[in-house]
Structure 1
Amino acid sequence: MKKTLFVLLKVLGIILLVIIALLVIMYAVNAVSNRSEEAKIQSYGQHVTVDGKNMNVLIQGSGEETIVLFPGYGTAAPALDFKPLVDELAPFYKVVVVEPFGYGLSDITEKERTIENITSELHEALQQLKIDRYILMGHSISGIYGLEYVNQYRNEVSAFVGIDTSVPAQGGGEELPVDAMKMLKDSGFYRLLLKLSPDQVIAPDVDEETKEQIRILTLRNMMNANIANESKYFDDNFKAVEHKQFPADLPLIFFLDGSSTDVENWIPMHEEQVKDSINGKVVTMEDGTHYLHHQYSKEITEQFRAFMSEIAAD
């Protein structure tokens, strides 16, 4: 009996040592890979100074009207994530992709990620670029930031376009398990998961080089200080706009995933947002995902242009 117990303890000890060794190797490989990948990051866009920090902005196209694109929460590299949509819009518009602090190639800021700070930083970036009249187009949580933004800077925004955007009525939800997610990243386990299942990297249909840049920036930016802090303000930021509406005279169009079941009454809540708009519209796209701009960039561009042409003709 004692011999059996000794053998069992020995086996358990060996298993424990193997697990510890694997964790140490995984951590070391991740640390070395992080350093080597930093040198592989390819610059895109340009920097503008906002509150003493560098904010990265990509500008493409030279149309008379300007479209400003703002990303959904946690998008690792917004300018690369929006690439299919930018390519479709650029022949007709000047397209500006703003990467908030902590996103893409932008710096990290010490400021709290409140809705007031996020929107004022976006405005300051556009001011630095001398852009004072534009269409604001946002994805996901940008529906919340966009609602605040157009109420603050109504005279500058000529239309708002939502791509499966959040609405105040859905609420901020529960705070993300930030510490656990950071542990996954810092331990190297998240890197291993992406290695075993590359499809977990959220990326549009782009060339392999761009996909690799998105992978690198995903590993670098996941749950950094700004993105982690932003999640802590979800509830406060949603509550900040729960009694606000889009101005009735502002052209407003939402492109929604028609098959979404993640949020109850997803489509009716957006229909409620446009009901008082002089020019408001909800477009549903079946068989889509939350990242409609990955799949339907051409359709979004065509339908938006048709929407604006109808308004101009009235």
Structure 2
Amino acid sequence: MVKKKILKRIGYCLGGIVGLFVLAALVVVINHKIHLSREDALVKPMGQMVSVGGHKMSIYTEGQGNTTLVFLAGGGTASPILDFKSLYSRLSDKYKIAVPERIGYGYSDVADVPRDLDTVLEEDRQALLLAGLKPPYVLVPHSITGLESVYWAQKYPKEVSAIVGIDVGTVNAYFDPTGPKIADFITKIKILAFAERMGITRFIPSMVESEAAITSGDLTDHEKDVYRAIFYRRTNTPPMVEEIVDLMDNAHKVDALPAPQLPVLFFISNGDGIGLGYTKEQWQGFQISYLSKIANSKYVLMDDYGHYLQDFAPDALAQKIKEFIPAN
């Protein structure tokens, strides 16, 4: 009899604990949806919306000149348009600026679409053409889109006149045996993605407040509010996660072709904020080693700054870009 009572009490306790978890989850989700509704007015597209493959893609343009700089955001960057703003605002007096936002990013749709390199590249090419921007382009990739920019130049050499890489991941970085285990990294990203879809991250404001576009750069208070609103909609979306899943296959695709021979400039950080566990020397060495395959290449070491150089040192980057890519 006593044993039954004890088991009954344990059952009640466990049921109560489960009930509390369910209630807490409901509170979190409802809070998230209320905030999303309130933030709707903040997330009106800043540029054009074009239809690519049956989905809406956002592409932002500004500036003047005959040379088009195409900014390609790093993996997981919630708002490419605002993330690059501090840099391109210093360049738009001399160049035409374009910021295509991939599926799952910024104002673009979130959709279940393949994230292999060929699909992503064709989407960006089509978005640029629909926005009235014809090649050749100067590609300005950040981080993971170093692969796309190199592949673009490999596959369509007449469309790319130069590459200006901002702390890009090169194929040798992804193949290095001392690097992170991609499977473990994917697991962590998927856990974060679930937490973000639920709205749990709203209770950890330090996550969005630590974004480089907010801590540094030139965003106005209103633009920071917009960035925050986008962050809670576009962090670790399914297409972003799929990019990481496809990362190694995409790297092998790039590695199978010769390094493109065109003017290339790399800005290389101290490696802080990448999250891949490399030392500064390793991270810088990957990019410098890859450039040794390209005759007309240069690099600028930026030891005082972390991965998001476009936010941390926009003046220095803008000046070097103007020297490297003469405006016409």
Please indicate the TM-score interval, normalised by the length of the shorter structure: 0.7 to 0.9
* Contact 2:172-2:290 within 8 A present in 1 as well: no
Given residue 188 of structure 1, which amino acid in structure 2 is its aligned partner? G
Structure 1 position 46, deviation (Å): 0.7
Count of residues paired in the alignment: 307
| Alpha-carbon separation, structure 2, partners of 1:188 and 1:259 | 30
1:226–1:197 CA distance, 2 compared to 1 (3 A): closer
| Alpha-carbon separation, structure 2, partners of 1:11 and 1:306 | 69
| Alpha-carbon separation, structure 2, partners of 1:169 and 1:225 | 26
| Alpha-carbon separation, structure 1, partners of 2:14 and 2:295 | 70
Which SS does the other structure have where 2:115 is aligned? Answer: coil
User: Which of 182, 196, 203 lines up with 2:193 in the alignment?
Assistant: 182
| Alpha-carbon separation, structure 1, partners of 2:315 and 2:83 | 15
Which SS does the other structure have where 2:25 is aligned? Answer: helix
| Alpha-carbon separation, structure 2, partners of 1:37 and 1:308 | 39
1:267 aligns with 2:284: yes
Which SS does the other structure have where 1:184 is aligned? Answer: helix
User: Which of 154, 163, 168 lines up with 1:160 in the alignment?
Assistant: 163
| Alpha-carbon separation, structure 2, partners of 1:166 and 1:245 | 17
**Which structure 1 residue ranges, 5 or more long, are not aligned?**
none
| Alpha-carbon separation, structure 1, partners of 2:77 and 2:110 | 15
Instruction: Give the match for residue 89 of structure 1.
Output: 91
| Alpha-carbon separation, structure 2, partners of 1:297 and 1:13 | 55
User: Which of 206, 209, 213 lines up with 1:203 in the alignment?
Assistant: 213
Instruction: Give the match for residue 118 of structure 1.
Output: 120
**Which structure 2 residue ranges, 5 or more long, are not aligned?**
176-180
1:211-260: CA deviation from partner (whole Å, max 9, x where unpaired): 11111111112232322222221121112112334322x00010010355
Instruction: Give the match for residue 108 of structure 2.
Output: 106
Higher relative contact order structure (alpha carbons within 8 Å, sequence separation ≥ 6): 2
1:12–1:36 CA distance, 2 compared to 1 (3 A): same
1:17–1:106 CA distance, 2 compared to 1 (3 A): closer
* Contact 2:138-2:162 within 8 A present in 1 as well: yes
| Alpha-carbon separation, structure 2, partners of 1:213 and 1:153 | 35
User: Which of 229, 240, 245 lines up with 2:253 in the alignment?
Assistant: 240
1:22–1:108 CA distance, 2 compared to 1 (3 A): closer
Between stretches 102-111 and 232-241, larger displacement belongs to 102-111
Given residue 291 of structure 2, which amino acid in structure 1 is its aligned partner? V
| Alpha-carbon separation, structure 1, partners of 2:283 and 2:241 | 26
Normalised TM-score (structure 2): 0.84
Q: Percent of counterpart pairs with the same letter?
A: 26
Given residue 160 of structure 1, which amino acid in structure 2 is its aligned partner? I
Between stretches 176-185 and 159-168, larger displacement belongs to 176-185
1:197–1:111 CA distance, 2 compared to 1 (3 A): closer
1:103-131: CA deviation from partner (whole Å, max 9, x where unpaired): 11112344301011011111112222241
Instruction: Give the match for residue 63 of structure 1.
Output: 65
| Alpha-carbon separation, structure 1, partners of 2:112 and 2:295 | 40
1:245–1:258 CA distance, 2 compared to 1 (3 A): farther
| Alpha-carbon separation, structure 2, partners of 1:198 and 1:105 | 17
Structure 1 position 14, deviation (Å): 6.1
| Alpha-carbon separation, structure 1, partners of 2:33 and 2:27 | 10
1:269–1:65 CA distance, 2 compared to 1 (3 A): same
* Contact 1:61-1:92 within 8 A present in 2 as well: yes
Given residue 207 of structure 1, which amino acid in structure 2 is its aligned partner? T
Structure 1 position 43, deviation (Å): 2.2
Structure 1 position 156, deviation (Å): 1.6
